Structures are given as C-alpha cells and as structure tokens.
Amino acid sequence: MQARATVYIVDDDDSVRRALSRLLMAHGYPVTTFDSAQAFLDEADFEAGPACVILDLLMPAMDGLALQHGLPRRMPVIFLSGHGDVARVVQAMQAGAIEFLEKPVSDTQLLAAVEKGCACAAEHFALERELQTLRQKLQRLTPREREVLTWVVTGIRNKQVASELGTVEKTIKVHRAHVMQKLEVDSLPALVRIADRMGLCVSRRDDDARQRAG
C-alpha cells in the first residue's frame, strides 16, 4: 500500500500549526510544519514524495501568494487564512490553488480539502515519476534510433521509413528492434503511447504518410 502524501503546514502562528498538526496526524497524515515561507523553501524536500501544502495568506517577509508562485505546479496548495478578500482568493485560484478556506475552519472542511490535495499530489507525483522513467529510457536510444522511432510511430511501413532515411528495409528492422528492446515494449501501439506521452513530433509526419498513401 502506497504511503499517504505528506502535508506541509506553513503558518507563522504557532498555535495554528499545532492545532492543524494534531488534527491531521490523528487522521493518519504525515505532517511537517514551518513558521515561514523561507524556512519551507529552504528545508522542504519537494522530491521526497507526494505532498500538498496548507499555506497561510499573510506572513512576514514572504506571503502565501508569493510562496505559491515559487512551488512546483504539481504540488497542490490549500490556502487557510483569516484575511481572504475576493481579489486575493481569485489570484490564488488562478495560480492553481485547489481550495481557499477561511479561519476558523471546521475539521470537516479542512479534512476534505486535505484529502483532495493529497489525492492530487499522489497522482501528479506518479505521473512525474512515469515521465522521468520514460525520459531515461529514451536516453538509451542513439540519434538514429530516435529518428527511426519518430517515423515508425506514424504507422508507415519499414520500407517507406527506409526510403525516407536513405537506407534499406533490413537496417530499419534492426533499428526498430533495438528501439523496442531499449524502451522495453513489444508492440507498435506501446511505442505510439510513449511517443505521445513524450511529445515527440509525429503528427506532421503522420499527415505526410497519409498523403503519400493517398
């Protein structure tokens, strides 16, 4: 079973940090607290695992909105503040906050927001890990193999790829086999999914292929 996402609490009020920590830890959430935005940026390990953050809006030196802009987009942000005017709420939500709660907040509201934030955090973290793994696999390819990959995933035949690259079909088959081995897949649809996930430029070539076929 995957561990729960960590909840970071950033608030300059010690009593708020203690109260939130007790509530969340009582419901099984790992919690780490910080008394300032700068302490959070200096000490938190954003790569350690999935995490969401509860931010106070008004804090000395760096406020919650400024801190929000310095965080990875994949980290869900929940604002908890006693100073939530409409303009600030809109600004926070436009920047990607998932909730803006006003103090005092009910346990039910807070826990619902944290559950939502942690679920988003786990999803984003898993996606980033998957993309990182795919990037590492793509780095195994030689420049020629990567070029063959971008042509193969258009669906055109090996013979046509060979013609485009100025070589013979047998060579393309060898490159294609190496590509599939290095990317650890066993079918063309799997190659297409990887190319799509990594944003490889295949759409234009696919259009070209259809034009040639027509």
Residue 3 binned pLDDT confidence (cut-offs 50, 70, 90)? low
The model's pTM is: 0.73
Q: CB 130: neighbour CB atoms within 10 A?
A: 11
Cis peptide before 143 (omega within 30 of 0): no
- Do 198 and 173 belong to one domain? yes
- Can you give the pLDDT at residue 119? 94
CATH of the domain at 193: 1.10.10.10
Q: Which two tokens stand for residue 214?
A: 């027509």
Tell me which of 69, 100, 133 is where a domain ends.
Answer: 133
Residues 6+ apart with CB under 8 A from 201: 150
- Can you give the pLDDT at residue 197? 85
Q: Domain count of the chain?
A: 2
CATH of the domain at 29: 3.40.50.2300
- Do 59 and 102 belong to one domain? yes
In a domain, 1, yes or no: no
- Do 127 and 149 belong to one domain? no
In a domain, 205, yes or no: yes
Tell me which of 133, 150, 170 is where a domain ends.
Answer: 133
- Do 209 and 127 belong to one domain? no
Residue 209 binned pLDDT confidence (cut-offs 50, 70, 90)? very low
- Can you give the pLDDT at residue 212? 43
DSSP track, the chain: -PPPPEEEEE-S-HHHHHHHHHHHHHTT--EEEESSHHHHHHH--TTSS-EEEEE-S--SSS-HHHHHHTS-TTS-EEEEES---HHHHHHHHHTT-SEEEESS--HHHHHHHHHHHHHHHHHHHHHHHHHHHHHHHHTTS-HHHHHHHHHHTTT--HHHHHHHHTS-HHHHHHHHHHHHHHHT--SHHHHHHHHHHTT-S-HHHHHHHHHHH-
Residue 84 binned pLDDT confidence (cut-offs 50, 70, 90)? low
Residues 6+ apart with CB under 8 A from 105: 80
Rank 50-54, 70-74, 154-158 by mean pLDDT and report only the highest: 50-54
Q: Residues of the chain with pLDDT > 70: what percent? A: 92
Average pLDDT over all residues of the chain: 87
Residues 6+ apart with CB under 8 A from 14: 35
- Do 129 and 144 belong to one domain? no
- Can you give the pLDDT at residue 207? 46
Per-residue pLDDT, averaged over 77-88, amounts to 82
Tell me which of 114, 133, 152 is where a domain ends.
Answer: 133
- Do 110 and 162 belong to one domain? no
For residue range 171-191, list pLDDT tens digits in order.
Answer: 999 999 999 999 999 998 999
Domain that holds residue 197: 140-213
In a domain, 158, yes or no: yes
